[in-house]
Amino acid sequence: MSMIRQFLKHYWGLLVAVLVVLALFLVPLPYYIEGPGSANNLKSFVTVKGHPDKRSGKFMLTSVAEAPARPITWLYAQLNPHYDVVSATDATDGQDAATYDKVQKFYMQSASNEAIATAYASADQTYTKTYQGIYVLAVQTNSKFKKQIKVGDTITKVDGQHFNNATAYQRYIAKQGVGHRVTLTFQHDGKTRHATAPLIKLSTKRAGIGIALTDHVKVTTKIPAKVDAGEIGGPSAGLMFSLQIYQQLTNQNLRRGRKIAGTGTIDGDGQVGEIGGIDKKIIAAKNAGATIFFAPYIKPTKAILALEEHHQTNYQLAKATVKKYAPNMKVVPVTSFKQAVHYLQTH
């Protein structure tokens, strides 16, 4: 015991310092840290058989870095204007890590499929879209199907009927009325299952299943194409994937040696939608040397601004970030894939 006391007497300060350092780096906090991620060359993610990308310049996929907070990273985020601290619930939409990752990977898969369809349609190349059904992103706690339907399942039929988009499913279900029992046919881990339960009243006052959903679409092409984004998830790469695939299909010199970054979802009509964290993506693009950044554009009305991140639209926030931190970068507002292509062809 005397040896231990002597050791503590001489080295207690060092032990305390070691414990403090360990705590700073290891103690988990109920927050996530969000900041600038990477700006990767899309050429490394996209393969179009027989159509390699030999043109100079880069289309770049920008991302937001996100990680569970520790005291040291929390302190760093407080001092760095490009980083934010958000609650764990807000960062993951209240889902556990495995479920959140599954949803983000599906978003990326969906974005990739729509990007392929958009690029092939614009390049007059043959492709086929097959509507698989409704992909389940979340299940409400008051849903009568919560014990049967899980995140990641795909609902293929309601009362034996298959529809070609989520809106058609929603209309059919709404007509049945609250309390009406419906039978769902769905895919779970590759197996077909059935579940029957009554419909609930949604916040919209209409009858519904009680799930958050998106369309599950499969795209096949005559010229094989593959998109592999690795560990990057989410829907925000749709526009840039479309541009990269279109570049390879047509071999047009769209980039003209430039480093072009951007962000935005892409839908079945080639329209570009808003995303989160565009200010951080601007910084990632600047760090990678991009000189052009495509930003989704919507008209800034009072109602929209009340709901927007920092009460600014994507384009407004991108412009403000560029003005302050990246004055040599040009932010280009776009509402559609065709508009982005037209800009590159004419500038």
Chain segment 158-212, per-residue pLDDT in tens = 999 999 888 899 999 999 999 999 999 999 988 999 999 999 999 888 999 999 8
Q: 180-184 long-range contacts, Cβ below 8 Å, gap at least 24?
A: 180/207, 182/158, 182/209, 183/158, 183/159, 184/145, 184/148, 184/149, 184/155, 184/157, 184/158, 184/209
pLDDT at 92 over 90: no
Torsion angle of C-alpha atoms 93, 239, 124, 345, degrees rounded to 10: 170
104: pLDDT strictly greater than 80: yes
Catalytic residue among 43, 259, 280, 281: 281
pLDDT for 115: 96
d(CA 110, CA 114): 6
Give exposure, 62-88, as e/b (b: 16+ Cβ within 10 Å): bbbebeebbeebbeebeeeeebbeeee
Please list the residue range(s) of the chain that carry CATH number 2.30.42.10. 130-217
What number of other Cβ atoms are within 10 A of residue 278's Cβ?
A: 28
C-alpha pair distances (Å), 239 with each of 11, 22, 170, 275: 58, 43, 27, 11
Mean pLDDT of 137-165: 93
- Binning pLDDT at 50, 70 and 90, where does residue 7 land? low
Pick from 98, 176, 99: nearest CA to 138: 99
Active site residue 236: yes
Amino acid at 334: V
User: What are the tokens at 341?
Assistant: 């292509």
Q: Domain spanning 37-70+100-125+223-346 has what CATH number? A: 3.30.230
User: What's the pLDDT tens digit per position in 15-59?
Assistant: 777 777 887 788 899 999 999 999 999 999 999 999 999 999 999
The dihedrals phi and psi of 307, each to the nearest 5 degrees, come to: -105, -10
Exactly one of 110, 112, 143, 236 is catalytic; which is it? 236
CATH 3.30.230 segments of the chain: 37-70+100-125+223-346
The CATH number assigned to the domain with range 130-217 reads: 2.30.42.10
| Model pLDDT, residue 16 | 75
Report how far residue 243's alpha carbon sits from residue 261's, in angstroms, rounded to the nearest whole number: 11
Percent share of the chain, pLDDT over 70: 96
pLDDT > 90 fraction of the chain, expressed in percent and rounded = 72
Residue 3 confidence (pLDDT) above 70? no
Closest alpha carbon to 321 in 288, 267, 277: 277
Helix (H, G, I), strand (E, B) or coil at 301: coil
- Quote the CA–CA distance of 149 and 135 in Å, as a whole number: 11
Phi-psi region of 332 (alpha: psi -120 to 50; beta: other; left: phi over 0): beta
**Res. 1: pLDDT tops 60:** no
Q: How far is CA 342 from CA 116, 216, 252, 254, 269, in A?
A: 18, 29, 12, 9, 16
- As a dihedral over the C-alpha atoms of residue 97, residue 98, residue 103, residue 107, rounded to 10 degrees, the angle is 90
Q: Is 281 a catalytic residue?
A: yes
Residue reference for tokens 């964290």:
277
Q: How many CA atoms lie within 13 A of 342 on its CB side?
A: 7
C-alpha dihedral, 249 to 255 to 260 to 262, nearest 10°: -40
Q: What is the pLDDT of residue 105?
A: 87
| Residue corresponding to tokens 């015991």 | 1
131 or 282, which is more confident: 282
